[in-house]
Structure 1
């Protein structure tokens, strides 16, 4: 299996099972762990961090991206970062299903992005099901929040610290709790000017 074939498979949200997919996932996980161990193992300048992130993701990283290691990823090649993204330390990226962080996103300490879920029935428990996580522009995710598979978070939204986000979040809102629920609607400049 090639990376392109795997990414097409996960984009179609097909189950991840069978020896060919398992072998590919193991190989990619080993590569991701090698790169993250290098990234997390000693001090690196911001440019060196971006270079290691480029190796991890397999794509160029904008010069405006900032990351405070350590970072953990079990795949790496399905992480997409916009301009001016900040990722604080100890974040976990389970990115098989795809993780996109839009321009200006701010990610707090210890945030977990989980794009895979296991089958619920015992006989299906070893099969995983991918779905992407997409954050719009200027999303702020507080420390120790967890974003689950298939969730889209709209522009300018805020996820409170410790929240578990299981459903889509509308733009310009604040959510928090377990599971996360609407706490506040953010008044934008456009709305203020129209009143």
Structure 2
């Protein structure tokens, strides 16, 4: 009986996350097929947010789309992540920060990226295909494909594969597209 209840809970959680993705898809630039947005996910300026196919975005994640956000296919975003595309300017000494202009820059997440829990991605960052960002990291600069990054600010820990394998992996096509 407990196994059936666990299965039912998981099934309903993903079914509701799928419905939530479809609902956000009405406001967002794009939300792909088989994408799941769990409770508490917020898309700010959703008209500037594009999410690919087969993505899973966990609860409590905020995606600020003011500067534009492009999320590739097969992306995993852990709970309580922040994708930020706008910041306050702070260079004028004679104007309060709260009254200075907002500076926007797009964020791009390549295919097969995994953001662990509580990751912060700052404006203007591109995270390359297959990269993994460790829990609690703050990504301030572009991330190379297949890099594993961690820390504040995020630094390279290692690559997922050796250089030859990275070259092969970069050209790999996933899912239904692979048969074309």
TM interval, short-chain normalised: 0.7 to 0.9
Q: Secondary structure at the match of 1:56?
A: coil
**RMSD value over aligned CA atoms?**
2.3
- Unaligned stretches of 5+ in structure 1? 1-43
Question: Structure 1 residue aligned with 2:127, among 140, 150, 153?
Answer: 153
Instruction: State the Cα distance separating 1:65 from its structure 2 match.
Output: 0.4
2:143 matched to 1:172?
no
Counterpart CA distance in 1 for 2:117 and 2:66 is 22
Counterpart CA distance in 1 for 2:152 and 2:140 is 9
Q: Is contact 1:50–1:63 with CA below 8 Å preserved after alignment?
A: no
- Unaligned stretches of 5+ in structure 2? 1-14, 169-180
How many pairs were matched up?
151
Instruction: Output the TM-score relative to the length of structure 2.
Output: 0.76
Instruction: State the Cα distance separating 1:109 from its structure 2 match.
Output: 0.3
Instruction: Output the TM-score relative to the length of structure 1.
Output: 0.71
> Counterpart in 2 of 1:52?
23
Question: Structure 2 residue aligned with 1:95, among 53, 56, 65?
Answer: 65
Q: Secondary structure at the match of 2:141?
A: coil
Instruction: Say which structure, 1 or 2, has more relative contact order (CA 8 Å, 6+ apart).
Output: 1
Distance 1:124 1:133, change over 3 A: farther
Q: Secondary structure at the match of 1:57?
A: coil
Q: Is contact 2:18–2:35 with CA below 8 Å preserved after alignment?
A: no
Distance 1:193 1:91, change over 3 A: closer
Q: Is contact 1:145–1:164 with CA below 8 Å preserved after alignment?
A: yes
2:155 matched to 1:184?
no
Instruction: State the Cα distance separating 1:94 from its structure 2 match.
Output: 1.1
Q: Is contact 2:67–2:104 with CA below 8 Å preserved after alignment?
A: yes
> Counterpart in 1 of 2:107?
133
Instruction: State the Cα distance separating 1:70 from its structure 2 match.
Output: 1.0
Q: Please list, as runs of the form range in 1=range in 2, the aligned pairs for 1:58-137 lying within 5 A after superposition.
A: 58-59=29-30, 61-121=31-91, 122=93, 123=95, 125=97, 126=99, 127-137=101-111
